[in-house]
Amino acid sequence: MKQKSPTLFFSRRFSGNGIAGGALGLTLLASTSLPALAQSNEDLLHQLETLQKEMEVLKAQVQENKVAQQQTVETIQTVEKAVAAAPDKGIGSGHTGVELAISGQVNRGILAFDDGEKTDVLHVDNDNSSTRLRFTGKGNIDEEWSVGTQIEVQFESNSTASVNQENQRNVGVDSFTQRKLEFYVDHKDFGRVWLGQGDTASNGTAEQDLSGTDVVGYSGVSDLGGGLLFRNENDGTLSSISIGDAFSNLDGLSRDDRIRYDTPTFHGFKAAASLAADDRQDIAVFYNDTYDSIKVSGAAAAANISGELSRYDGSLSLLHLPSGISGTFAAGLDDFDESSRDERTFAYGKLGYQVHLFEIGKTALSVDYYRGDSQASNDDESNSAGFQFVQNIDKVGTELYIGTRWHEYEDDSATDYDDVLAVLAGGRVKF
């Protein structure tokens, strides 16, 4: 039998007894419900106390977070102030007010070649743009005058300009060699004077190139494999003529100990002149500007290499910015006065294309052709064609590249030479 609750039983039992029965029923009902209500109140009080403690813990955590946030903001502000002040102070210098910067690059590759008789692979430093280290300093005297310095050295192990079929490893000077050891004084209105070992005025005038592929191919075509020797076609023996002998872009006076003056830039134009030892002097003009959507870079120079040799060279490169298409041309002439030597000449052309195929950076491709006359001897001919591919990785200052070049050399002797095919793959990482 199902048991009835006491409250229900008594309310029914005395429901017919009027007021007395109702009072008794209510009394019994109250006596059974009050303990339950008391128990519920105690639970509620306990829960409220627990919630209050949890709220106090949360308040403490919020306060701690506010303190941590404020400390983070103060740290960020301190770092920002330090970064903003860094350009003024430089990364370190022995003299207050002189800004010092350190930069450089590593440029290594693998050179594969076929000289008509032999195919081999060499591990090289790319002489197009050698591995090097650079220190530059700059200080402002006032708003118009400033001074600067530059120390740049290179360290090439197995330079592409030196390795060949007979010397494949441990080629080159086992130490740093000089590139630039100079200082300058600059005035915003009067120009700049350089003193020391560095670029002569005509250096680079045959090498203006906006293709984006000059790290592996430009008018100096011999840099890719200049040390390789041509073979005699008849008996397969190595000749004494290297690619570097047969291919030159006649680019000014290179670098030398000199005094040089550069004018200020005016509407994109700048002129320069330098004087070195042994009566070596040169003059040059440079132009760099952008017309609407076309970027222009050009240069021309005349140099006296010696009392009997004068050199004239120039180059022009155009880049159509929206399409990425570029065209480059360079030429030069060596005039031998009062000599039986014929004029030495060269001409070079390149067609390039740059496009953003990948998010990591720009992709550049190009094809080029070189023609030289009387390079190594009178009436000889030098021909070269090449293809270049460069992939930039902007975030880490890196260029990955591959270039292939065919070389042909002919002279007026009875000797015929095998063509040389060379492929260079590698990378340049700047810092």
The pLDDT of residue 351 is 98
pLDDT interval class at 271 (50, 70, 90): very high
Question: Is the CB of residue 107 less than 8 Å from the CB of residue 126?
Answer: yes
- Check whether residue 286 and residue 392 sit in a common domain: yes
Give this prediction's pTM.
0.77
Residue 336 lies in a domain: yes
Pick the last residue of a domain from 60, 75, 90: 75
CATH number of the domain encompassing residue 214: 2.40.160.10
Identify the pLDDT of residue 98: 85
Q: Could you tell me if residue 161 is inside a domain? A: no
3-state per-residue secondary structure call for 272-330 = EEEEECCCEEEEEEEEEEEECCEEEEEEEEEEEEECCEEEEEEEEEEEECCCCEEEEEE
Claim to verify: residue 357 and residue 244 sit in the same structural domain = yes
Q: What is the pLDDT of residues 137-182, one digit of tens each?
A: 999 999 999 999 999 999 999 999 999 999 999 998 889 999 999 9
Range with the poorest average pLDDT among 129-133, 148-152, 172-176, 404-408: 172-176
Asked if pLDDT for residue 77 goes beyond 70, the answer is: no
- The tally of domains found in the chain comes to 2
If asked whether residues 377 and 237 sit together in one domain, one would say yes
3-state secondary structure of 64: helix
Residues 80-91: tens digit of each pLDDT = 555 555 444 446
Residue 223 lies in a domain: yes
Q: pLDDT value at position 31?
A: 46
**Spacing of C-alpha 136 from chain mean position:** 17
Distance between first and last Cα of the chain:
95
pLDDT of 19 > 50? The answer is no
Task: State what percent of residues in the chain have pLDDT above 70.
Answer: 84
Q: Which of 33, 53, 75 is the last residue of a domain?
A: 75
In a domain, 221, yes or no: yes
Does position 263 have pLDDT exceeding 80, yes or no? yes
Instruction: Print the domain residue range for 422.
Output: 105-130+201-430
Rounded CA separation 123/426 (Å): 10
In a domain, 348, yes or no: yes
Kindly state whether residues 71 and 22 are assigned to the same domain. Answer: yes
Q: How confident is the model at residue 64 (pLDDT cuts 50, 70, 90)?
A: confident
Give me the chain's average pLDDT, please: 88
**E strands along 294-419, which residues?**
294-306, 309-320, 325-336, 344-358, 361-373, 381-393, 398-410
pLDDT at 338 over 80: no
Do 17 and 112 lie in one domain? The reply is no
Kindly indicate the confidence band of residue 44, based on its pLDDT and cuts at 50, 70 and 90.
confident
